[in-house]
Amino acid sequence: MRDKSIVIIGAGMGGLSAGIHGQANGYRTSIYEAHTVPGGQAATWTRKGYSFDGCIHHLFGCRPGSRLNELWHELGVMPRELVATQECVAVMGTDGRLFVDYYDLERLRQHTVELAPADRRATDAYVEEIRRCARHDFFGEMIFGSKAKLLGMLPTLVALCPSFTSTMADLGARFSDPLLRDGLPLTLYSAPANPAILHLVMHAYGMNGDIAWPVGGATTLARSMAERYRILGGELHLGRRVKEILTRDGKATGIRLADGSVVESDLVVSNADGRSTIMDLLGGRFVDDRIRAYCGRNPASDETNWAVHVFLGVNRDLSKEPSSLVMLLDPPVDIAGHTCRSLEMQIYGMDPTMAPPGKGVIKVELFSRWSLWEELARDPERYREEKERAADKVIGVLERRWPGLRNDVEVVDVPTLITWKRFMGGDRGFVNMPTKTPSMLRSLLSSRLDSRLPGLAGFHLVGSWATSGGALFLNALSGRRVVQDICRADGRTFVAAKRRQ
């Protein structure tokens, strides 16, 4: 039997992973990417000597020997130069006090007790929960572990049961100190409704050295994967936008590119935005009520986090700053059409390659509405003015932390949801996945992807729309799982890509 061909739309984490594992399992694969560089949302770009990363908060899988590290080895991402961060997140209160959620538990305990001595009991409980989580490679065992390994985790899971049902807001409510009570719920991506267990497990991964920062940012990961893919014989076509997924008799048969050329294949895998894939590339022909609801333009999907980023290149040494910071605001500040009661930011002082010597980069992430930017984009001047207004307000807030910062700003870059649409092809931002709310737990606990469409054979989705998780390792895992499904359907034994030495 001749080797089957797989054409992959998009060179993001899911697409590159599907290509790598497809090649490793004897399939002939080709990837068509609209952008001129691989990576999709895993993007880092430069402005006047500063590097701006639009992707990574916490990279899981950095500790040699961990399950997720093995996945990155398969994909050619590891080993690489990494910088270990010292804290999960820091929170600055309206009174100027700073809570640093240190990975080191003894340092965390001492710091928190000094900050809020009346909350010693809540602090001890918080530290102990993290310590319990650190006994296991939670995500790795959920994804790759045997039944025996999962059974061995049972006592810990039982002890942590309340954290599975409680939220970050509940975690903060244990504390009486206002900085901890109001700030701790925001330490998991400014989402108080997120399950507390995710924060505890993430903290444990950082404590065990499994979370770090890749020197150079997210694009370096994508380049490593692209190199691995090419070495395995895959064909990566950059700057080639896909216009249509071709079908015949309920089966995907290939793609049509923007230049009119056709690429025929036995299977089609899309790592492009799910909504645009389903409704545009496939013309909305393969949907049911559930898929139609995912793709609908409803008011609930209008506002989203990570909608606007304000990047600042500053003539200031930030190497002593925490890598992630949340600032509580009182009174709130209206920025980009959203009332901000806090600002979340990443500070890249730990990586000297991100800025010229003695200088630094700050990224502030904002909530906003798709409808606002869709309207503004109709008038380029209004669009530009609103971006400048957002940056100006952000700088004003940051001066509470860094007095005189405005005079040190050398570069400003403000990508919005419109920028995301231009480069990613979707129209409502990264977080707008099928369930609207990302669920890492759902993605981890499910052994199969939600990767197919009703009435369409020979087709799979990978990436965020298949996982509803958003994490880089989950998007990469989606490509692996799709190839596992393809091998299973073809009666082949799946073979993991060999580790890069």
Place 436 in a pLDDT band, splitting at 50, 70 and 90. very low
DSSP code string of 445-458: H-SS----BTTBBS
What is the C-alpha separation between 415 and 494, in angstroms, rounded? 40
Q: Is residue 119 part of a domain?
A: yes
Q: Tell how far CA 361 is from the center of its chain.
A: 19
Maximum Cα interatomic distance, the chain, rounded to a whole number of Å? 71
Which amino acid is residue 350, in one-letter code?
A: M
Task: Based on the fold, state whether residues 324 and 361 are members of the same structural domain.
Answer: yes
Q: Is residue 381 part of a domain?
A: yes
Task: Based on the fold, state whether residues 350 and 433 are members of the same structural domain.
Answer: no
Which amino acid is residue 237, in one-letter code?
A: H
Of 111, 178, 164, the C-alpha closest to 133 is 164
The 8-class DSSP code of residue 299 comes to: G
Which amino acid is residue 416, in one-letter code?
A: T
439 vs 44, higher pLDDT: 44
Residues belonging to the chain = 501
What is the C-alpha separation between 405 and 284, in angstroms, rounded? 49
The three-state DSSP-derived secondary structure of 159-207 is HCHHHHHCEHHHHHHCCCCHHHHHHHHHCCCCCCCCEHHHHHHHHHHHH
Task: Based on the fold, state whether residues 416 and 464 are members of the same structural domain.
Answer: no
- Per-residue pLDDT at 499: 66
Residues 6+ apart with CB under 8 A from 411: 47, 48, 50, 311, 312, 313
Q: Is residue 361 part of a domain?
A: yes
Q: Is residue 479 part of a domain?
A: yes
Beta bridge partners of 214: 82
The three-state DSSP-derived secondary structure of 48-77 is CCEEEECCCCCEECCCCCCHHHHHHHHCCC
Q: 100-109, 117-126, 142-151, 408-417: which range is least confident on average?
A: 142-151
**Measured CA distances, 190 to 68, 184, 343 (Å):** 25, 9, 8
What's the domain range around 454?
5-42+219-298+428-489
- Per-residue pLDDT at 1: 43
**Residues 351-379, mean pLDDT to the nearest whole number:** 96
Task: Based on the fold, state whether residues 294 and 435 are members of the same structural domain.
Answer: yes
Using the predicted structure, report yes or no on whether residue 285 has a pLDDT greater than 80.
Answer: yes
Q: Is residue 74 part of a domain?
A: no
Task: Based on the fold, state whether residues 240 and 288 are members of the same structural domain.
Answer: yes
In the numeric block, the tokens 């092809």 are attached to 425
Residues 6+ apart with CB under 8 A from 484: 21, 494
- φ/ψ of 332, rounded to 5, equals -65, 160
Task: Based on the fold, state whether residues 194 and 249 are members of the same structural domain.
Answer: no
What is the C-alpha separation between 146 and 132, in angstroms, rounded? 20
- Per-residue pLDDT at 126: 97
> 266: left (phi > 0), else alpha (psi -120 to 50), else beta?
alpha
Place 293 in a pLDDT band, splitting at 50, 70 and 90. confident
Q: Is residue 56 part of a domain?
A: no
Percentage with pLDDT > 90 across the chain: 78
Question: Checking DSSP bridges between strand 324-335 and strand 87-92, what pairing results, if any?
Answer: parallel
Residues 6+ apart with CB under 8 A from 181: 172, 173, 175
Q: What is the CATH number of the domain that holds 448?
A: 3.50.50.60
- Per-residue pLDDT at 291: 84
Beta bridge partners of 453: 456
Mapped onto helix, strand or coil, the DSSP state of residue 339 is strand
Q: 222-231, 279-288, 355-364, 426-435: which range is least confident on average?
A: 426-435
Task: Based on the fold, state whether residues 401 and 329 are members of the same structural domain.
Answer: yes
* Geometric angle at alpha carbon 449, from 281 and 29, rounded to 5°: 55
Using the predicted structure, report yes or no on whether residue 52 has a pLDDT greater than 70.
Answer: yes
Q: Considering just the CA atoms, what is the radius of gyration of the chain in Å?
A: 23
**Residues 52-74, mean pLDDT to the nearest whole number:** 94
**Residues 149-167, mean pLDDT to the nearest whole number:** 78
What is the dihedral sign for C-alpha 289, 295, 297, 303? positive
Domain-terminating residue out of 404, 424, 444: 424
In the numeric block, the tokens 């606007």 are attached to 308
What is the C-alpha separation between 293 and 316, in angstroms, rounded? 48
Residues 6+ apart with CB under 8 A from 466: 14, 274, 449, 450, 451, 460, 478, 482
Tens of pLDDT, residue by residue over 453-494, are: 999 999 999 988 787 667 899 999 999 999 999 999 999 999
427 vs 292, higher pLDDT: 292
Task: Based on the fold, state whether residues 319 and 371 are members of the same structural domain.
Answer: yes
Q: Is residue 98 part of a domain?
A: no
Task: Based on the fold, state whether residues 412 and 328 are members of the same structural domain.
Answer: yes
Task: Based on the fold, state whether residues 171 and 262 are members of the same structural domain.
Answer: no
Tens of pLDDT, residue by residue over 186-222, are: 999 999 998 999 999 999 999 999 999 999 999 999 9
Task: Based on the fold, state whether residues 146 and 202 are members of the same structural domain.
Answer: yes
- Per-residue pLDDT at 443: 47
* Number of other CB atoms surrounding residue 500 within 10 Å: 16
Q: Is residue 398 part of a domain?
A: yes
Domain-terminating residue out of 207, 241, 274: 207
Domain-terminating residue out of 399, 424, 449: 424
- Which tokens in the block code for residue 48? 């006047």
What is the C-alpha separation between 271 and 459, in angstroms, rounded? 11
Tens of pLDDT, residue by residue over 110-153, are: 999 999 999 999 999 999 999 999 988 888 877 776 666 767 77
* Number of other CB atoms surrounding residue 464 within 10 Å: 29
The three-state DSSP-derived secondary structure of 345-390 is EEECCCCHHHCCCCCEEEEEEEEEEHHHHHHHCCCHHHHHHHHHHH
Domains: count for the chain: 3
Task: Based on the fold, state whether residues 273 and 293 are members of the same structural domain.
Answer: yes
**What does pLDDT average to over the chain?**
91
> 296: left (phi > 0), else alpha (psi -120 to 50), else beta?
beta
The 8-class DSSP code of residue 186 comes to: G
